[in-house]
Amino acid sequence: GKLQADPLRSSCILTNRATVISVSACFPCRDVRLRILEHYRWSVIQKYQAVTKGLTVDDLMTFVTGLKSELYTEGLVQGNFTSTESKEFLQYFIDKLQFQPLSAEVPVLFRVVELPQKHHFCKVKSLNKGDANSEVTVYFQSGLKNLREHALMELLVMHMEEPCFDFLRTKETLGYQVYPTCRNTSGMLGFSVTVETQASKFSTELVDAKIEEFLVSFGARLSALSEDAFRTQVTALIKLKECEDAHLGEEVDRNWFEVVTQQYIFKRLDKEIETLKQFSRLELVSWFLEHRNSSSRKLSVHVVGFGVEENDPPEPSAICSPESIVNPPSSAYGEVSELTFLMASSPLLQDATLISDIRAFTSSIPLHPYYKILS
């Protein structure tokens, strides 16, 4: 069995390793942030390590048998099919798979922790050895809210996009990727500002401080917003939501999200449009300020690249020599291992609380129940 498993296991290891590299290169802060927020979430590193611990064909077959023994089936049929045809299609799958129903309901989302009412930060070294790319995400947690607050958050982020780019990209030239985002983390509402930079030019702690400067300036800008400018943005967001789908796949994707999250609000866009029409400028300003007071739940996540601004030694020059040919350098990504947590290296984050052990931190704070934004 082991000889047969080796090619499969090797393929899984390579695939997971590629995933680790891809996630750590493209979305490094996302993986760390969700490890903190979502209870019992497995990181890409944990998945990789599980695959490398000697899986066999017997392990795989045991898993497949167990997976097929109890299932819950749900589907989406969209297009020129009758209700009868759709039910027959689902029944065909049920008959072929031959399984028993689940003995207990299985949640499709995570439970999310409630961040303390204080600024916390988690700073880790990049897994990509020698890579200068760093990323900083500053996240604000709103809480378990409803559809109205979600629409309000989307409007806030839309107002934030242009000034965020102007301040952090054009003025401060911190990096090419600079953006705010509305966050729905397993039903937990929030927003974040992300900057991708390079350790050869800026430290992550400086970037974090610049994001704070931007948020201060944006608060002043938002408070001075005219009624006409506010209405213009509301109208723009409504038109965006009213825009016809370019193809059937766009509507399918929206509806499939409702199915896999078991929310089933297939008219969500219509509900959001009606809600947007009711907002006032003062509501928007008040909503932003709620996230900027002394009791706000703020989390900074830093994934630190390799460079002089992070006090890393300069890379040795790649000189071709007989020794380098005999002993070629190892992969730039090195061995995939546990995260390396870093301390604050400047006074810029002296008032924030450091997270150096994710499991210890999350086990000491409240955990919200499962939640969906349904109304």
The one-digit pLDDT tens for each residue of the chain (375 residues) are 344 455 555 566 556 555 555 544 455 899 999 999 999 898 888 888 887 787 788 888 998 888 888 999 899 999 999 999 999 999 998 899 889 999 998 899 999 999 999 999 999 999 888 899 999 999 999 999 999 999 999 999 999 999 999 999 999 999 989 999 999 999 999 999 999 999 999 999 999 999 999 999 999 999 999 999 999 999 999 999 999 999 999 999 999 999 999 999 999 999 999 999 999 999 999 999 999 999 999 999 999 999 999 988 876 554 444 444 444 444 444 455 678 999 998 888 988 999 999 999 999 999 999 999 999
Q: Which residue intervals of 27-56 are DSSP H helices?
A: 28-37, 44-51
Residue 276 is predicted with a pLDDT of: 97
The CB-based long-range contact list for 251-258 (8 Å cut-off, 24+ gap) reads 251/78, 252/76, 252/78, 255/76, 255/78, 256/76
DSSP 8-state assignment for residue 328: P
Distance from C-alpha of 283 to C-alpha of 278, rounded to nearest angstrom:
10
Q: 46 in a domain, yes or no?
A: yes
Q: 231 in a domain, yes or no?
A: no
Phi, psi values for residue 213, rounded to 5°: -60, -45
pTM for this prediction: 0.87
Q: 369 in a domain, yes or no?
A: no
Helix, strand, or coil (residue 52): coil
Distance from C-alpha of 283 to C-alpha of 222, rounded to nearest angstrom:
11
Whole-number Cα distances in Å, 123 to 178, 300, 339: 19, 8, 10
Q: What is the CA radius of gyration of the chain?
A: 24
Q: 49 in a domain, yes or no?
A: yes
Helix, strand, or coil (residue 359): helix
φ/ψ region of 70 (left if φ > 0, alpha if ψ in -120 to 50, else beta) reads beta
Q: 48 in a domain, yes or no?
A: yes
Residue 54 is predicted with a pLDDT of: 77
Distance from C-alpha of 339 to C-alpha of 127, rounded to nearest angstrom:
8
Distance from C-alpha of 156 to C-alpha of 348, rounded to nearest angstrom:
27
Cα pseudo-dihedral 164, 167, 170, 174, rounded to 10: -90
Task: Provide the token pair at 373.
Answer: 């934004």
Q: 56 in a domain, yes or no?
A: yes
Question: In what order do the strands lie in the sheet containing 133-144?
Answer: 177-185, 188-198, 133-144, 297-304, 119-125, 353-354
Number of domains in the chain: 1
Q: 272 in a domain, yes or no?
A: no
Task: Provide the token pair at 167.
Answer: 């301040």
Query: In terms of residue numbers, what domain contains 23?
Result: 2-101
φ/ψ region of 330 (left if φ > 0, alpha if ψ in -120 to 50, else beta) reads beta
Q: 206 in a domain, yes or no?
A: no
